[in-house]
Amino acid sequence: MTMARPYVPRPGERTAARPQFPQSRKQQVKVWWREIDRVLLALVFGLMVLGTIAVASASPASARRLSTSAERLDELYFYWLHLRWQALGLVALIATSMLPRDLARRGSILLAGAMLFFLLLVPFIGSEVNGARRWIDLGIRFQPSEFLKPAFAVSIAWILSWKARDPDMPVIPISGALLGVVIVLLMAQPNLGDTILFVGCWSVLVLLAGLPLQRVGIMGAAGVGLMTLAYLFYDNARNRIDSFLGGGTAYDQVDLASRTLMSGGWTGAGLWLGRRKMSLPEAHTDYIFSVIGEEFGLLVCAVVVVLYLAIILRVLMRLVDEENLFTILAGSGLIALFGGQAFINILVNLQLFPSKGTTLPLVSYGGSSTIALCFTIGLLVAITRRNPFLPRDRFMFTGALEKGAFR
C-alpha cells in the first residue's frame, strides 16, 4: 500500500493560500470577538441598562393605569417582563452577530418574504389594539412590521448593489415597487409611523446609491402627496396632525408628555418620585423619554441622546473604511431605521413632531419589538464584521458615480 506524496510546488510556481477556518466553537468565538465592533456593543449594552432603569421608573404608572377592580397589577409588573424580553433579545443579538455576512443577507431576504406574507394576513386574522390591527397571534403575539424593518433594509441594499455588476439594471424602480407594496400593507392597518420609517430608510439608500438630483425633487413631491392622502383619508393621521398643528390641549397626550418631560428640571425628582407620569398614557413605551425627564432630569435625557448619536456615528465611522457596496448600503439602512425611530420618538416627547406610536429603541418596554431591535443590532454587527489585520480598499462612491454605475 503506497501513500500519496504531499504536493510540493515547483520553484517559482504560485499557489493560492488556503483559507483557514476555525475548527472549534472556542476558535469561532475568538474570531467573532476579534472581528466585531466591541465599542458599538458596549454603547448598545449601556443603552439597554439605562432602558432597564427607565422601565423600572415607568412601570408603576402603567401598572396602575391598566389595573382593574378584578385584577391589580404589581407596580413592577412591566419591569420584570422587560427583563425577560431583554434576556431573549440579547440572545438574538449575539446569535445574529455570529452569522457570516452572506448568511445574514440570505436570512434577511427570507425573513422579509415571511413578514410580507404575515402583513398580507394582518387585515384578516390580525389582533386589534387601540383601533389598529397590526399584530399576529400564533401563540405568541408579534408585529410583523417590526421584524420586516431590518429585513427590508438589508433586502433593499442587496437589490441596489446589483447595479455595481450591471449598470443597466433598473434597481431603483424595483426597490421602489417593493416599498410601494409595504406602504399599501402598512396603511391598511393603519400604521403611519412605520410607513414613515420605511420611506425614510428607502430614501437614504437610494440617495447613497446615486439617485439623480432631478428625481430627488420628484420623490419629495411624492412624499408630500402621500402625506396629503393620509391626512384626507385616515382619521387617525388627521387627528394627530391637527393636534400637533393646533398646539394640543392640557389633556392631549403629547402635551402631557412635554409637560412631564420638563417638570423634572435639570436633575429630576428622583426614582419613583415623579407625579405627572401617573396621568401619562403609555408611560413605559411611547412616552418613556418623558418619564426619564421627570425622574432623572434633562441631563440624563441629554445622555440618552448622546448615546444614540454615538451609536450612529460609530456605525458610520465603521462604514467609511468598508470596501463592499452591499455592506455600506445595508449598514446605512439599518442605522437609519434605528436612529430614525429614536429621534422621532424623542421629537414627539418634545412636542416637535406629531404622535406616531413609535417606541424608543432599546429603552422602551417591549416584547417582540425588543427582540426585533436586538436582531437589528445583531445584523448590523454581523454585516460590519471584518478581520482587523487584512488591508482594505475603500469603496469610492465618487468613482462609481462618474462611471454611471448608479444612474
Q: Grade residue 98 by pLDDT with cuts at 50, 70 and 90.
A: very high
**CA-CA distances (angstroms) from residue 315 to 41, 208, 209?**
11, 15, 18
Q: What's the pLDDT at 113? A: 93
Question: What span, in angstroms and rounded, lies between the C-alpha atoms of 17 and 37?
Answer: 27
- Write down the domain spans for the chain: 37-402
User: Where is pLDDT greater, at 164 or 276?
Assistant: 276
Question: What's the pLDDT at 282?
Answer: 83
Q: HEC states along 198-239?
A: HHHHHHHHHHHCCCCHHHHHHHHHHHHHHHHHHHHHCHHHHH
391 pLDDT band (50/70/90 cuts)? low
| Beta-carbon count within 10 A of 101 CB | 17
In terms of C-beta density within 10 A (0-12 exposed, 13-18 middle, 19 or more buried), how is residue 41 classed?
Answer: middle
SS3 state at 134: strand
**Average pLDDT score, the chain:** 81
In percent, the amount of the chain with pLDDT more than 70 equals: 78
- Helical residues (DSSP H) of 246-297, grouped into ranges: 253-263, 288-296
Tens digits of per-residue pLDDT, 351-362?
877 777 788 999
Residue 190 has pLDDT above 80, yes or no: no
Q: What are phi and psi of 128, to 5 degrees?
A: -100, 130
pLDDT in tens, 1-56: 455 555 555 555 554 444 455 557 788 888 888 888 899 999 999 999 999 999 99
Q: For residue range 61-93, what is the model confidence (pLDDT) as tens digits?
A: 888 888 777 788 888 899 999 999 999 999 999
Q: What is the pLDDT of residues 237-253, one digit of tens each?
A: 666 666 656 555 444 67
Residue 307 has pLDDT above 80, yes or no: yes
Residue 159 near residue 175, CB atoms below 8 Å: yes
Q: Check whether 231 has a pLDDT greater than 70.
A: no
Confidence of residue 323 (pLDDT cuts 50, 70, 90): confident
Q: Tell me, what's the pLDDT at 247?
A: 54
More confident site: 115 or 232: 115
404: pLDDT strictly greater than 50:
no
Stretch 164-168: mean pLDDT? 77
pLDDT of residue 250: 42
Q: What is the pLDDT of residue 237?
A: 61
Among the listed residues 148, 87, 159, 88, the one whose alpha carbon sits nearest the alpha carbon of residue 118: 148
Mean pLDDT to the nearest integer, 377-386 = 90
Question: 187-196, 285-294, 395-404 — which one is most confidently predicted on average?
Answer: 285-294
User: Burial level of 349, CB count in 10 A (0-12/13-18/19+)?
Assistant: buried
Give me the pLDDT at residue 403, please.
46
